Structure 1
């Protein structure tokens, strides 16, 4: 009986994290959550009725499961809280001019973020960069084959996840308050809000 209780508890936790909190969908072509009882006009209803968004939801559920397996001993546990925050952000897409595009982008970015943070896809690196000739400005970067491309940069005890951006040349990434643009062996980096741009080169 204890084992059965644990299975049921695990089932319900997963349902809460994906969608409205209802039981998981039995329909393999639908999203990872049950569409029974979703509100009319809600973001959940949009996901339920759009095959491409449903597929993204199922993909996210699989990626989240793989990330959770790696983060099982994480202290403090943050993955579940982050996922609840992401669901709230996805549902806020009802405010967007193009709701569907907003929802799709939210899914793609969350999938890429989990894949990079938990090293679920191939990566290049870590690559060390020397910036402005100062040891304190040294930067270490890992580049992940996600969609969209992502990188994780570390500087001292600070870490930034950056997402690939369109660029006429080179590779450009943007984080919350950080940016990275590498072109012909040289990288232009800003680190922190209002910070001056640094010139960085790969360290030997």
Structure 2
């Protein structure tokens, strides 16, 4: 299987860069073409840094710690955050959704791996951090990075979105998709930030 995977990655070596289809390129961001919130990852470093093995499927698969300053929108007070992780470098028509999280309280300024542990006390799809998760490619809480062997570096975009109104999930699926969430936040975006981690699986 290792040889098959490597051969597939060589065949689609140039099938990367679906940046135009990233979540932050959607119509909800028409008033905010550039990030307005600074996102840090103290475990890894500046945006564009190499993720540790423990942040990947090759290791523990931990969600990286992300940190941002307290933010107040100029037009309205922030009521909620949402967070999405996606890979635009997979050889597919659209970026792979690795995780999407909604209902993050406006007082939150940091997320850690422990926050993404599923708990029963908060109802379906509830997480230890106090928010919920939506639909990713596998229907799990989070898909740790695992790019195709030999496909080169993949970028993993972690996008935080500040909302002027809480997301109305009553009109969405029990496990909301990125498309549903993107439609649901239209007109309610107060700003956003982005941190990118890079990971590669090399033939050894």
Give the TM-score band, short-chain normalised: under 0.3
Greater RCO (CA < 8 Å, at least 6 residues apart): 2
The normalised TM-score by structure 2 is 0.24
The normalised TM-score by structure 1 is 0.24
Q: Tell me which protein shows more helix as a share of its residues.
A: 1
Q: Tell me which protein shows more strand as a share of its residues.
A: 1
